[in-house]
């Protein structure tokens, strides 16, 4: 009976968190950013579905929503919308921007990618021909590049599938499924981008049905624009305000002083320890400039 009693006590003692964290290849290190100061760039082409100003504002609000979490200290700086190279992924030794872009053409179309091009079978058509190379039913996706051994994220790019979906920015009403228009909610940019931004930060799906990181959504949904308590608990556990970033056991935390205490935030680390560590770090004058920059060719905008 003792183990069951222990579990019951544990269930009462732990917060009812349902958030999940992403891991490299399923069982590898937890994904994390070594910085709290992020940059992103919205490709200036925007979407033909909505005015650029409103679409860009919706993306900005998505990132800002995560930045407004007071128990964390994330910040997002937008690089001016510009003509990006519209290339997702990561090239070592190059400047890699965290871009947000809409793909308006589908790579599966013979008028976009010539039949027989090796990129069709080997992959890479999206960057070569500026087209949507994922499943046509996918609304949006985020491509994340990380250091395999540590989980440190180097780059994350968000693509929205404008070749198959109609993106909107208004608050209401919900569009009829067969008749999406700009003056009703079809596929809400902010709803989609806020969820994807959670993935960008290293969160997986939550079991909390009200959470932005919950895996299911009805058509015309806008509810995920706002974060749920579970989303906030999750992001603050990874990036606690003033404290060290939570990393897998054996991985050096981004802040160099944090590792000296052997207090990398593993699943068994306590909030009390985090608070003490945060206090010690503040007392030691450790700032973001001291954070470790792991991985060859780490992303320049975060530097």
Partner 1 sequence: MHSTRRLGPGSHAGAPWYAFAMRVMALVAAASLPAVAATVRGPADIASLTAAADAVVHARVVGRESGWGSGGPSSGLIFTRVTLQPVEWWKGGAAGARVVVRVPGGSVGGLTQTVDGVSAFAAGEEVVVFLRKLGDEPGAAVYAVERLALGKFTVVTKSARAVRDRSHVSCQGCAAGEEDALPLSELRERVRRSGSAR
Footprint on residues 253-272 left by partner 1 (CB under 8 A): 265, 267-272
Stretches 47-55, 64-72, 91-99, 251-259: which one binds partner 1 (CB under 8 A)?
Answer: 91-99
Distance of alpha carbon 104 from alpha carbon 109, whole angstroms: 12
Distance of alpha carbon 43 from alpha carbon 182, whole angstroms: 20
Residue burial 28-48, b: 16+ Cβ < 10 Å; e: rest? bbbbbbbbbebbbbbbebbbe
Query: Packing angle between helix 52-67 and helix 189-200, nearest 10 degrees?
Result: 40
| Lookup: tokens for 67 | 């930045």
Told to check if 210 binds partner 1 by CB under 8 A, we report no
Stretches 38-46, 55-63, 68-76, 85-93: which one binds partner 1 (CB under 8 A)?
Answer: 85-93
DSSP state of 16: -
Distance of alpha carbon 127 from alpha carbon 13, whole angstroms: 49
Contacting partner 1 within 177-196 (CB under 8 A): 187, 192, 195-196
Told to check if 275 binds partner 1 by CB under 8 A, we report no
Compare residues 276 and 290 and give the one whose CB is closer to partner 1.
276
Distance of alpha carbon 39 from alpha carbon 95, whole angstroms: 12
Closest CA to 158 of 214, 226, 72, 76: 76
Stretches 52-60, 69-77, 116-124, 281-289: which one binds partner 1 (CB under 8 A)?
Answer: 116-124
Stretches 16-24, 49-57, 66-74, 283-291: which one binds partner 1 (CB under 8 A)?
Answer: 16-24
Half-sphere exposure (CA, 13 Å, Cβ side) for 239?
26
Closest CA to 153 of 83, 232, 96, 231: 96
Compare residues 199 and 225 and give the one whose CB is closer to partner 1.
199
The interface mask with partner 1, positions 212-251, x = CB under 8 A, is: ---xxxxx-x---------------xx-------x-----
Binds partner 1 by CB under 8 A, chosen from 51, 82, 89, 284: 89
Binds partner 1 by CB under 8 A, chosen from 77, 95, 109, 148: 148
Closest CA to 222 of 190, 199, 267, 261: 190
Binds partner 1 by CB under 8 A, chosen from 58, 101, 147, 197: 147
What are the Cα distances from residue 287, in Å, to 244, 260, 266? 10, 15, 22
Binds partner 1 by CB under 8 A, chosen from 35, 39, 47, 144: 144
Task: Please calculate the CA angle 127-63-258 and round it to the nearest 5 degrees.
Answer: 100
Told to check if 20 binds partner 1 by CB under 8 A, we report yes
Compare residues 190 and 265 and give the one whose CB is closer to partner 1.
265
CB 38 within 8 A of CB 75: yes
Stretches 40-48, 60-68, 123-131, 281-289: which one binds partner 1 (CB under 8 A)?
Answer: 123-131
Closest CA to 153 of 221, 209, 98: 98
Told to check if 139 binds partner 1 by CB under 8 A, we report yes
Distance of alpha carbon 170 from alpha carbon 109, whole angstroms: 31
Binds partner 1 by CB under 8 A, chosen from 54, 127, 252, 257: 127
Compare residues 53 and 271 and give the one whose CB is closer to partner 1.
271
Compare residues 135 and 287 and give the one whose CB is closer to partner 1.
135
Least separation in angstroms between residue 291's CB and partner 1 is 20
Contacting partner 1 within 25-44 (CB under 8 A): 25-28, 30-31
């Amino acid at each position: 009976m003792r183990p069951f009693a222990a579990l019951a006590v544990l269930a009462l003692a732990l917060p009812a968190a349902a958030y999940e964290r992403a891991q490299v290849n399923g069982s590898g290190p937890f994904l994390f950013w070594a910085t709290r100061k992020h940059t992103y760039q919205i490709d200036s082409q925007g979407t033909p579905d909505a005015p650029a100003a409103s679409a860009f504002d919706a993306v900005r609000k998505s990132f800002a929503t995560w930045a407004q979490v007071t128990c964390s200290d994330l910040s997002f700086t937008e690089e001016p919308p510009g003509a990006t190279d519209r290339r997702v992924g990561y090239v070592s030794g190059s400047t890699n921007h965290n871009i947000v872009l809409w793909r308006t053409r589908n790579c599966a179309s013979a008028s976009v990618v010539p039949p027989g091009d090796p990129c069709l079978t080997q992959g890479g058509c999206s960057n070569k021909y500026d087209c949507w190379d994922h499943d046509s039913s996918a609304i949006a996706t985020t491509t994340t590049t990380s250091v395999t051994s540590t989980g440190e994220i180097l780059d994350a790019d968000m693509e929205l599938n404008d070749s198959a979906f109609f993106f909107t920015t208004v608050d209401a009403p919900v569009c009829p499924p067969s008749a999406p228009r700009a003056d009703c909610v079809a596929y809400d940019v902010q709803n989609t981008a806020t969820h994807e931004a959670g993935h960008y930060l290293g969160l997986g799906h939550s079991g909390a049905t009200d959470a932005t990181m919950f895996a299911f959504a009805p058509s015309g949904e806008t509810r995920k624009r706002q974060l749920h308590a579970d989303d906030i608990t999750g992001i603050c556990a990874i990036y606690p305000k003033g404290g060290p970033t939570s990393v897998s056991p054996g991985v050096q935390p981004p802040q160099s002083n944090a590792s000296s205490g052997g207090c990398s935030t593993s699943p068994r680390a306590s909030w009390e320890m985090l608070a003490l560590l945060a206090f010690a770090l503040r007392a030691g004058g450790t700032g973001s400039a001291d954070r470790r920059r792991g991985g060859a060719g780490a992303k320049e905008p975060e530097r």
